[in-house]
Copies of this chain bind each other. A is one copy, B any other.
Amino acid sequence: MADLRKVAVVGVGNSKFGIRNDVNVSELTFEAVKPSLEDAGLAAKDIQFVALGSVGAGAWYEELLPAVVTGEYCGLTGAGLMRVEAACASGSAAFLTAYSAVASGQCDTAMALGVEKMREIDTPTAMEWIGRAGYYFWEFHNFGLTFPAYYALYANAHMAKYGTTEEDLALVAVKSHKYAAMNPIAHLQNRITVEDVLSSMVIASPLKLYDCSPMTDGASSIIVASEEKARELRIDTPVWVAGIGYSSGTANLSKRQDFTGLEASVLASQRAYKTAGITPSQVDFAEVHDCFTIAEILAYEDLGFCARGEGVKLLREGQTEIGGKIPVNMDGGLKAKGHPIGATGCSMIYELTRQLREEAVEKNRQVPLKNYIGLAHNVGGTGHYCYVTILKR
Contacts and interface: CB of A to CB of B under 8 A. Distances in A.
Contact of A134 (B3, B65, B133): B65
Contacts of A85: 57, 67, 82-85
Interface of A: 1-5, 24, 49, 57-59, 62-65, 67-69, 71-72, 76-87, 90, 93, 96-97, 99-101, 103-108, 129, 132-137, 226, 244, 246-252, 255, 264, 267, 275, 380-381, 384-385, 387
Given A58-B129, A97-B97, A71 B3 contact: no
Contacts of A267: 78
Q: Copies per complex? A: 2
Contacts of A93: 82
Most buried by B among A58, A93, A248: A248
B100 A104 contact: yes
Contacts of A103: 100, 104-106
Given A1-B108, A100-B101, A381-B65, A247 B84 contact: no
Contacts of A250: 68, 72, 77
A1 B108 CA distance: 7
A147 to B, nearest CB: 11
Contacts of A387: 80
B59 A59 contact: yes
A259 B360 CA distance: 48
Nearest to A3: B105
A137 B246 CA distance: 36
A68 B104 contact: no
A220 to B, nearest CB: 17
A81 to B, nearest CB: 4
A255 B78 CA distance: 13
**Closest 9 pairs between A and B when the two form their complex, measured CB to CB:** A80-B246, A2-B105, A103-B104, A100-B100, A104-B104, A81-B248, A64-B132, A82-B93, A68-B384
Contact of A69 (B5, B57, B68, B135): B135
Contacts of A133: 64-65
B72 A255 contact: yes
A385 B83 CA distance: 11
Contacts of A384: 65, 68, 81
A245 to B, nearest CB: 8
Nearest to A72: B251
Contact of A137 (B57, B62, B105): B62
A174 to B, nearest CB: 32
A329 to B, nearest CB: 24
Contact of A106 (B1, B65, B90, B381): B1
Contact of A81 (B62, B68, B104, B385): B385
